[in-house]
Structure formats: C-alpha cells, structure tokens
Amino acid sequence: MRPRVLVTRLIPDEGLDPIRAACDADVWADDLPPPRAELLRRVVGCRGLLTLLTDRVDDELLEAAGPGLRVVSNYAVGYDNVDVMACHRRGVAVGNTPGALTETTADLAWALILATARRVAEGDRYVRTGQWRTWGPRLLLGSDVHRATLGIIGLGRIGAAVARRAAGFAMTVLYHSRSRVAPELETSLGATHVPLDELLERSDIVSINAALTPETRGLIDAVALARMKPTAVLVNTARGPIVDGRALADALRDGVIAGAGLDVTDPEPIAVDDPLLRLPNCLIVPHIASATRATRGRMAEMAAANLLAGVRGEPLPSPVPIPPGGHS
C-alpha cells in the first residue's frame, strides 16, 4: 500500500512529482493555508505530513494524525511553527530545508538594506504620485551603505552570507550570536563578535538573521531600538516576533531610528491598519526572502526527500536537531 501523506500547499513540481509518484498524496491546492479544522481532519491516518511555516504542528495535530505518523517535513529552514519536542516524544522525525535558501535570503536582506538606507520605495512613491518637480539638493537624502558598519544579529548560514556580501561595500562587520563562531569564519568574514548593546549602538545597519526562539522573541524592543543611532536602519528577514512591532512603529515615527526594511512581520499578514503601514520610512515585503524559482524548487526537492525518507522509516537527509534534553 502506498503511504498516505498530506501536503498542505501546492509546492513546486520538483517536490510534488516524487511525492505523488511514491505516495497517496492529499495536496491542499488552495492559495491560502488549510483552516485548522480541515488540517485536523485531513491529517488523520497519514504517515507523512509536509507543512509550511503557516501550519502549526503541535500536540493537537499530532494526536489527530494518530500513531502512524512518522515524519513532519517543514518546507522552510525555520521551524518555529513545529513543536519539535512533541514530535520527538511521539517518535515523529522532523525535517527542514537548510542551505537551500541561504544565498537567496541574503540577497533579499541586501535588497532591503540598500532600499531602506537609500529610500528607494519612498522615491518610487514620490515619482508615481506626481511629486517629482526637479532635481533637489536635499531631496530624499539617505545614508551611505559603503564603508558603514553592519551589525548582524545571528551569524548562522544566512547571517554569514549577508556578512560575506558586505565585503563588496567595504563595511565594518559586527555580529552578535548566542555563541561565537569559529575564529576562521570570523576571519574570513572580517566579522567581530560584540555584545548586543554594543552592536546596536555602533551599527549603521542592523540585520536580523537569527532563528525565532524564546530568547530572541521580542529581542528588539523599545529599549533596544533606543540604543540604535538615529540614522540607523533595521532590516529583518528572519521572523517577525523578534521585533516588537509597536515599539518599532513608535521608533520610526519619532526619529529614534531612520528606517526599517521588513520581510517578516508579526502577525503575518500584517493588518492593513497597522501603524507600520502608515510610515513612509518603513518598507515591507510579504515574506519573500526565499522566493525565487530556483530556490523554491530546491526547497521542494529537500522537503520531498525528507518526507519520503521519513515515510520509509529511513533517516532524514535534513533532520531538525532534537532539542536539548530530548535525547534519551
């Protein structure tokens, strides 16, 4: 019998084709995520589950799936939507897609760095709304990116890829991570480990590239923002809840910092009446950092490989680490 699996959205064919070839696949084909009740209903009796970051995988869902569930394959590198410990307790393997989207996400972080520091979105709106009357010596002045100081919060794969690109702009690179990275990596990136407060105080551009964990949730709050330079910009391509959105809106409105470029918000989608959307110095795109055809295809291949290995009871090619204390 072909194993039953649920795929919670239409992922690229690079992943769907092998899944359909090997499994009895229920693929949720709507543009929007399956409503919770639908997810709970469809997961019953599945051996594998391919989820997106919009699906909450918790005890309730695992319970609904039943004892036959062997694998949760998350179509993302981040897995804060998955209760990994709850999966581990039930012997359900969890996989993700590390590496596939590193460079693509770093590209978008840089798009936001440049666009925010140089006020690109504001300039575009200025032209489209017919305000452009002449070349102006004081028009839409931003900040230089070249030779500026870049502060990276979270020097994992993506943070390192953001740092690597900074060499082309002759920047000083600071970073803050849970722990220092290997000295060889620091040297090759030209990155200096500093306490968070120092990073915030010295950086012209702060790029958030950390995972969402209990430690990073709300890390950038009003106090942290107040430490930044009034000319500085904040870029977040990691997870929305790392930044206190209300505090950020106040800081942008009051000139505590100069601008923000966000790929991620809290919640997602951001409410249309959110104060951030009324601020010209806040550029927001809809969580598209990994959104290139090639990268989404690679993510689909990896997610399918994890799913298929899991349903066969084989080790996953890209397993999520078991949380501390979870090893028996």
The single residue listed with the structure tokens 């397993």 is 319
Residues in the chain: 328
Of 204 and 301, CB closest to ligand DGY? 301
Would you give the binding string for ligand DGY spanning residues 93-112, x where CB under 6 A is met? --------x-----------
Supply the Cα-derived Rg of the chain in whole angstroms. Answer: 21
> Which parts of 173-202 interact with ligand DGY (CB under 6 A)?
none
Of 76 and 320, CB closest to ligand DGY? 76
Does residue 73 bind ligand DGY (CB under 6 A)?
A: no
Of 53 and 243, CB closest to ligand DGY? 53
> Which parts of 106-145 interact with ligand DGY (CB under 6 A)?
none
Shortest Å distance, C-beta 279 to ligand DGY: 23
Helix (H) or strand (E) holding 239: none
Phi/psi of residue 90, nearest 5 degrees: -95, 5
Shortest Å distance, C-beta 215 to ligand DGY: 18
Shortest Å distance, C-beta 28 to ligand DGY: 18
| DSSP string for residues in 153-185 | E--SHHHHHHHHHHGGGT-EEEEE-SSPPPHHH
Does residue 77 bind ligand DGY (CB under 6 A)?
A: yes
Angle of helix 102-117 relative to helix 120-128, nearest 10 degrees, comes to 60
Shortest Å distance, C-beta 60 to ligand DGY: 22
**318 near 306, Cβ under 8 Å?**
yes
Q: Which stretch, 13-21, 32-40, 71-79, 185-193, contacts ligand DGY (CB under 6 A)?
A: 71-79
Does residue 8 bind ligand DGY (CB under 6 A)?
A: no
Of 53 and 166, CB closest to ligand DGY? 53
> Which parts of 25-54 interact with ligand DGY (CB under 6 A)?
53
| DSSP string for residues in 45-68 | T-SEEEE-TTS-B-HHHHHHH-TT
Number of residues that bind ligand DGY (CB under 6 A): 6
Q: Which stretch, 19-27, 73-81, 109-117, 215-223, contacts ligand DGY (CB under 6 A)?
A: 73-81
Shortest Å distance, C-beta 186 to ligand DGY: 25
Interface with ligand DGY (CB under 6 A), residue from 51, 236, 290, 318: 290
For the annotated catalytic residues, the residue numbers are 239, 268, 287
Of 116 and 318, CB closest to ligand DGY? 318
Does residue 78 bind ligand DGY (CB under 6 A)?
A: yes
Shortest Å distance, C-beta 278 to ligand DGY: 25
Determine the Cα–Cα distance for residues 231 and 255; give it in Å rounded to an integer: 8
- Alpha carbon 229 to its chain centroid, in Å, reads 25
Q: Which stretch, 5-13, 75-83, 134-142, 320-328, contacts ligand DGY (CB under 6 A)?
A: 75-83
The single residue listed with the structure tokens 């949760």 is 72
**Any alpha helices (H) in the chain, and if so which ranges?**
13-22, 36-42, 59-65, 84-89, 102-117, 120-128, 157-166, 183-189, 196-202, 222-227, 245-253, 293-311
Of 76 and 155, CB closest to ligand DGY? 76
Of 109 and 257, CB closest to ligand DGY? 109
Work out whether the CA dihedral 308, 211, 113, 251 comes out positive or negative: positive
Phi/psi of residue 318, nearest 5 degrees: -130, 80
Work out whether the CA dihedral 237, 245, 211, 147 comes out positive or negative: positive
Shortest Å distance, C-beta 155 to ligand DGY: 17
Question: Closest Cα to residue 14, out of 326, 208, 303, 308?
Answer: 303
- The contact set with ligand DGY (CB under 6 A) reads 53, 76-78, 101, 290
